[in-house]
Amino acid sequence: MTLVQPFEVADLAAMHPADAVEALNDMEAEKGAALLAAMDFRSAVNILEQAGLENGAALVGEIPRAKAAPLLAEIAADRRAEIFRKMEREEARRLLALLPDHARVEMEQLLTYEPDTAGGLMTTEFFRALPEWTVAQSLEAIRTSAATLETVYAAYVVDADGALIRAVSLRELVTADPQTPILSVGSYRKPLFVHPDDPREKVARLISKYDLSAAPVIDASGKILGIVTNDDIIDAIIDDDTEDAQKQGGMEALDAPYMATSFWRMIKKRAGWLSALFLAEMLTASAMQHFESELERAVVLTLFIPLIMSSGGNSGSQATSLIIRALALEEIRLRDWWRVALRELPSGVALGAILGAVGFVRIVLWQKLGVYDYGEHWVLVGFTVSAALVGIVTFGSLTGSMLPFAIQKLGFDPASASAPFVATLVDVTGLVIYFSIALVILRGTLL
Amino acid sequence: MTLVQPFEVADLAAMHPADAVEALNDMEAEKGAALLAAMDFRSAVNILEQAGLENGAALVGEIPRAKAAPLLAEIAADRRAEIFRKMEREEARRLLALLPDHARVEMEQLLTYEPDTAGGLMTTEFFRALPEWTVAQSLEAIRTSAATLETVYAAYVVDADGALIRAVSLRELVTADPQTPILSVGSYRKPLFVHPDDPREKVARLISKYDLSAAPVIDASGKILGIVTNDDIIDAIIDDDTEDAQKQGGMEALDAPYMATSFWRMIKKRAGWLSALFLAEMLTASAMQHFESELERAVVLTLFIPLIMSSGGNSGSQATSLIIRALALEEIRLRDWWRVALRELPSGVALGAILGAVGFVRIVLWQKLGVYDYGEHWVLVGFTVSAALVGIVTFGSLTGSMLPFAIQKLGFDPASASAPFVATLVDVTGLVIYFSIALVILRGTLL
């Protein structure tokens, strides 16, 4: 095992656990493990319990098993499950065997849930109150029974079968008259809860909408299984938004920080979408081949191909990122698609008209100033480019805004409707629109 | 004033305030105001106090002033400031005059802070404890003095000058021995805090890193001015990510939900960037004009222009969205730019090689299967396209990853490095790379 200096251990133990975690995240696992193993038990537990720890499994794997097991037994069940999930199967099996019976059974149960569900995020340690208790009795019970500080988020009142009757927040308890029965505290409402299979997005929405400190997880019979705490949910929201941002950038979500992702993994995450988009974009070559004779007769038309295509892609990218975000925040629902279409259609026409006007002015200016000669039919070329811009920007806005709805309807994540995806869709159609308009306007002159 | 039915009022009052807010958000302000005015005082306060309320200013503006003033006087100072900020100046002045003296003075003070800073987000109601108190005395003081439940997040111990000595969380108070002096609770650390001018991103990072329920805001002398609560911060994180997503989609941030944004405002937010990108993209036409004689001699080259350009844009979009997110999460810092460049360079070459190989195979297949005839020099055309893809994807990855650093270095938000922005940058250079490679490979044959 790596040798560490006593002052290094003392420094780390003296930091706020969240700062110690940042230091550990930047360290080789071997060195971090040596520091944790040399540290007093309580400080090591406080550090391992932080949600921000990135390489918990690697750290624990490097600590001698006789030391690692008691540490694991002491930390909160949700953190422990997270560490076990990322550990190699064989190592996890050996460490599980060293846990106290109740912790092992509980862990085996927690590990059956999918990681990004309420069950996978929950901790099984929380404060249960009995329906006959007063506020004073509940507070006294919290004080005397709480295993660790981290488990006190609210008092969950359960009946004899373990079914959740009521959740009373710490704030409600502390401000209530001590002699009040706990069931009379605050204004009564059915407790808010999630089921173990609910995705973390749903838990995040519940917690942020109702400003909960934790969301209870109950099974089909109403029995409370655990709680998902709001610090986990802030992390979950940040993770979700990171995944969405990466998908919208036209790649698979990385699942790890940029620098912590290996070169080949990075290539794998990016090459898939890049190749798929490339194959789809090959249709542009086919579309161009189709118009080859027009291209040969009017090379001047090729000059504007990139300009026109990119305008369609840009307007599509704006529309798609707007709609993906609005869907993610539930500002709009699937059924609102036609309301969005009715807004994007005139928006697209207006934006296209702006670009069309700018494009026309550019052609007139270049021609008149003698920068470039677009030929004797330059006015018609200008009209062609302008009309194509209106058509393509409208088509881009409409396609970009409808694509996230279509993807969500098909059961996929609308964030996959990336800017590159929309641009590719719009490019092929954009070329066809451009050449079709050219055929109408320029027939008998250039074409 | 709109007439409302008594049962409508009763229904809304019976809902969870967060649900009532959703109903109000979907309603005309006039109708919502009528419901709030007819409701019992406490329920109306609970609703106006929700962070999720979107049109608070419009609602309050429609309630008769004699009723609105007491409601405003009762809600938390941070919510009140938010409502006043969105109100017309004249209306705000009239309502301010109706507030009790202390609330008016406090409000005038809060309104001097910028909205997206700690000062603009904070509430001035929080629980102060005296250094000589025990835990039991502190809990008793919370119970008897708390004006509203919503103000209890932690106990802030202040000295005679109002300077913050220590923050003790509710959780620490509840689990501590009642006879302990409050200054001895938990493990002592200097309190974490922010300054009133700190941006909300900084507050959000402090709260999420240290799992705080609220962050105290102190002035230069150490005096505590207020607290920013974690429910505000979840909203702030979501808002920030929305702004980033919209900027990355190539537009200005909307500052309001999609459906709540007027048609012309939407056009304004989108047309600016779209026109700027359009003007920049015009350089592609200039680049093409420069290579016009090559284009005329080898029309076959134009067939691959969209394919090659879009590949550069797509790889740039991937890289830029990766880096923007990593910078936002502080996974990487400005000074890491060269480490990123050293990763993106080989990534770009590898990704370009994959696309180059696919592109070459496509040309061989089409030629051999007789789908299309690329002419006698089709092998050379294939090499040109492949080599151009390697060059452009490498250039795209490198530009896309460096652009967010450059923008941040210049003092702007790196999220402005949108996919469309990168694509535009890469398009012009991509064309030059393509034609330059063509000139080298095809000289003496096609060119």
Residues of chain B positioned with their CB less than 8 A from the CB of A174: 139, 142-143, 152, 170, 173-174
- Nearest by CB to residue A282, choosing from B16, B271, B362, is B362
Is B319 part of a structural domain of the chain?
yes
ipTM of the complex: 0.76
CA–CA distance, A226 with B146 (Å, rounded to integer): 31
CA–CA distance, B283 with B425 (Å, rounded to integer): 10
Helix/strand/coil percentages in chain B, nearest 5: 65, 5, 25
Residues for chain B: how many in total? 447
Instruction: Give the pLDDT score at B76.
Output: 85
Find the mean pLDDT for residues A109-134: 90
**Nearest CA-CA distance, residue A97 and chain B, Å:** 32
CA–CA distance, A30 with A63 (Å, rounded to integer): 8
Are A321 and A418 within 8 A, CB to CB? no
**B137 lies in the same domain as B48:** no
Consecutive H or E run containing B25: helix B17-25
Among B55, B89, B112, which residue terminates a domain?
Answer: B112
**A59 lies in the same domain as A161:** no
Instruction: Give the pLDDT score at B192.
Output: 92
**Number of alpha carbons in the 13 Å side-chain half-sphere of residue A75:** 24
Instruction: Give the pLDDT score at B43.
Output: 92
With CA atoms as reference, the chain B residue closest to A154 would be B171
Dihedrals φ, ψ of B446, to 5°? -80, -40
Question: pLDDT at residue A51 above 90?
Answer: no
Question: pLDDT at residue A418 above 90?
Answer: no
Determine whether the interchain pair B419/A419 forms a contact, defined as Cβ–Cβ distance below 8 Å: yes
Is B245 part of a structural domain of the chain?
no
Q: Which of A54, A173, A209 is the best mutation test for B, with the most CBs of B within 10 A? A: A209
Is B292 part of a structural domain of the chain?
yes
Instruction: Give the pLDDT score at A150.
Output: 61
With CA atoms as reference, the chain A residue closest to B299 would be A296
Instruction: Give the pLDDT score at B187.
Output: 67
Tokens representing residue B426 in the block: 């890469």
**A154 lies in the same domain as A227:** yes
Are B122 and B226 within 8 A, CB to CB? yes
Size of interface A-B (CB pairs under 8 A): 347
Find the mean pLDDT for residues A331-354: 92
Residues for chain A: how many in total? 447
**B158 lies in the same domain as B214:** yes
Is B152 part of a structural domain of the chain?
yes
- Nearest by CB to residue B306, choosing from A172, A303, A427, is A427
**B199 lies in the same domain as B284:** no
**Confidence band (pLDDT; 50, 70, 90) for A147?**
low
**A218 lies in the same domain as A281:** no
Residues of chain A positioned with their CB less than 8 A from the CB of B367: none
Taking Cα atoms as reference points, which of B205, B222, B138 lies closest to residue B178? B138
**Nearest CA-CA distance, residue B158 and chain A, Å:** 21
Are A225 and A196 within 8 A, CB to CB? yes
**B301 lies in the same domain as B200:** no
**B161 lies in the same domain as B275:** no
Determine whether the interchain pair A152/B142 forms a contact, defined as Cβ–Cβ distance below 8 Å: no
CA–CA distance, A74 with B196 (Å, rounded to integer): 39
CA–CA distance, B132 with B126 (Å, rounded to integer): 18
CA–CA distance, B313 with B400 (Å, rounded to integer): 9
CA–CA distance, B77 with B21 (Å, rounded to integer): 19
The stretches in chain B having pLDDT less than 50 are none
Taking Cα atoms as reference points, which of B62, B45, B53 lies closest to residue B18? B53
β-strand partners of A389: none
Residues of chain B positioned with their CB less than 8 A from the CB of A149: 171-172, 175
**3 state SS of B166:** strand
**B264 lies in the same domain as B315:** yes
**Number of alpha carbons in the 13 Å side-chain half-sphere of residue B285:** 23
Which CATH number is B324's domain given? 1.10.357.20
Instruction: Give the pLDDT score at A252.
Output: 81
SS (H, E, C) chain A: CCCCCHHHHHHHHHCCHHHHHHHHHCCCHHHHHHHHHHCCHHHHHHHHCCCCCCCHHHHHHHCCHHHHHHHHHHCCHHHHHHHHHHCCHHHHHHHHHHCCHHHHHHHHHHCCCCCCEHHHHCECCCEEECCCCEHHHHHHHHHHHCCCHHHCCEEEEECCCCEEEEEEEHHHHHHCCCCCEHHHCCCCCCCCCECCCCEHHHHHHHHHHHCCCEEEEECCCCEEEEEEEHHHHHHHHHHHHHHHHHHHCCCCCCCCCHHHCCHHHHHHHHHHHHHHHHHHHHHHHHHHHHCHHHHHHCHHHHHHHHHHHHHHHHHHHHHHHHHHHHHHCCCCCHHHHHHHHHHHHHHHHHHHHHHHHHHHHHHHHHHHCCCCCCCCCHHHHHHHHHHHHHHHHHHHHHHHHHHHHHHHHCCCCHHHCCHHHHHHHHHHHHHHHHHHHHHHHHCCCCC
Determine whether the interchain pair B249/A322 forms a contact, defined as Cβ–Cβ distance below 8 Å: yes
**Nearest CA-CA distance, residue A100 and chain B, Å:** 25
Tokens representing residue A365 in the block: 């200016």
Is B246 part of a structural domain of the chain?
no
Are B34 and B3 within 8 A, CB to CB? yes
Determine whether the interchain pair B257/A306 forms a contact, defined as Cβ–Cβ distance below 8 Å: no
Is A118 part of a structural domain of the chain?
no
Work out how many domains chain B is built from and give that number.
3
Residues of chain A positioned with their CB less than 8 A from the CB of B340: 258
Dihedrals φ, ψ of A217, to 5°? -105, 120
- Nearest by CB to residue A246, choosing from B322, B347, B420, is B322
Among A54, A80, A112, which residue terminates a domain?
Answer: A112
Is B247 part of a structural domain of the chain?
no
Tokens representing residue A184 in the block: 């009379």
Order the strands of the A164-169 sheet from edge to edge.
A127-129, A154-158, A164-169
* Distances from the Cα of B374 to the Cα of A241, A426, B209, B380, angstroms: 45, 25, 59, 10
Is A14 part of a structural domain of the chain?
yes
Determine whether the interchain pair A244/B245 forms a contact, defined as Cβ–Cβ distance below 8 Å: yes
Determine whether the interchain pair A362/B282 forms a contact, defined as Cβ–Cβ distance below 8 Å: yes
**Confidence band (pLDDT; 50, 70, 90) for A385?**
very high
Residue with tokens 């988009």: A277
Which CATH number is A45's domain given? 1.25.60.10
**B293 lies in the same domain as B426:** yes
- Nearest by CB to residue A171, choosing from B152, B177, B275, is B152
Residues of chain A positioned with their CB less than 8 A from the CB of B284: 306-307, 310
**B211 lies in the same domain as B80:** no
Among A207, A238, A269, which residue terminates a domain?
Answer: A238
**Confidence band (pLDDT; 50, 70, 90) for A193?**
very high
**B71 lies in the same domain as B142:** no
CA–CA distance, B328 with B311 (Å, rounded to integer): 26
Among A108-112, A416-420, B358-362, B430-434, the range scoring the smallest mean pLDDT is A416-420
Residues of chain A positioned with their CB less than 8 A from the CB of B208: 231, 234-235, 238
**Nearest CA-CA distance, residue A40 and chain B, Å:** 14
SS (H, E, C) B244-267: HHHHHCCCCCCCCCHHHCCHHHHH
- Sign, CA dihedral B344-B345-B350-B356, equals positive
Instruction: Give the pLDDT score at A288.
Output: 83
Domain residue limits at B75: 6-112
CA–CA distance, A113 with A295 (Å, rounded to integer): 59
More confident of the two residues A201 and B354: B354
Dihedrals φ, ψ of A27, to 5°? -110, 155
